[in-house]
Amino acid sequence: MQIGRVSTAMITPFSPDGSIHFEMVAKLIEHLIATGTDSLVVCGTTGESPTLTSQEKEDLIRFTVETVNKRIPVIAGTGSNSTMASIELTKIAEETGVDGIMLVTPYYNKPDQRGMFEHFKTIANATNLPVLLYNIPGRSVVNMLPETVIKLSEVSNIQAIKEAGGNLEQMSDIIAGSLSDFDVYSGDDGLTLPLLSIGGAGVVSVASHVVGEDMQKLIKAFEEGRHQDAAIIHHAMLPLIRALFAKPNPVPVKYALGKLGLDVGSVRLPLVDMTIEEKQEFDLAWDQYELKRKNFN
């Protein structure tokens, strides 16, 4: 599975009536490809997957695959806290022609490490698609430990993990203990550079919706040994990243896309849009970043 250095966890645009705005999905895809996204993750957390119906997920995955038309890889979020439901959606995604699937740690039912291992192994064995694991303790409550990930990395089509636990030590243990062809991606934009420094593969990003080119510049600078340049971009980007996550994801990034002329609509309940005051706070972080980025453009 060729995820690349910067994969975007794509938001789902909605029309005023709350339905998926497929015309805007197409425009967003073109924007992301043009601004440095190496691959797309559709129907993930940022895509508000908990509020999408099964039919909407199928329609969105199919539309994304058709619109991308093999220009970059498309990874479908098919994981849930039901193993059988995850397999069902995975088989549907496989039929649409996606390049891989992303499987989140099961939420709410709180499996132990053995349960998580069996869950992911069972889904992986039910498909020929490459698998990207997704560990996000802040949302799923359970934390998949490095030894479990390392054991899962021995399953032939489990090829990478998106680690969104914010724990560099845990990421380091996975990198050290897994085979060299198993990739570890940061699920936190702010940890992209630190993860690269310990052997990580890149980032599954939210910020890349609006600063994709700059994220690629950061990674390129690091890879070329221009570590000071990479650090300048990292430090400039951090306040904006914090602003992008100051409210529940993807509320701020949808607002930010509007500032770029992409009206991707509102969020679905139980999420709500930012207040006027919250938008003003975000605008301040945005304007400050625009000034800072002149130093590395």
- Residues with Cβ within 8 Å of 263's Cβ and at least 6 positions away in sequence, in order, are 24, 257
3-class DSSP state for residue 14?
strand
Q: Shortest CA distance to 175 belongs to which of 137, 201, 204? A: 201
To the query of whether residue 121 is one of the catalytic residues in this protein, the response is no
Catalytic entry in 57, 162, 247, 254: 162
User: Among 249, 245, 237, which residue's Cα sits nearest to residue 292?
Assistant: 237
Answer yes or no: 151 catalytic.
no
Q: How far is CA 227 from CA 138, 194, 221, 236, 290, in A?
A: 30, 11, 6, 14, 21
Length of the chain: 297
Task: Give the active site residue among 91, 121, 134, 294.
Answer: 134
CA 89, CA 22: separation in Å to the nearest integer? 20
Active site residues: 134, 162
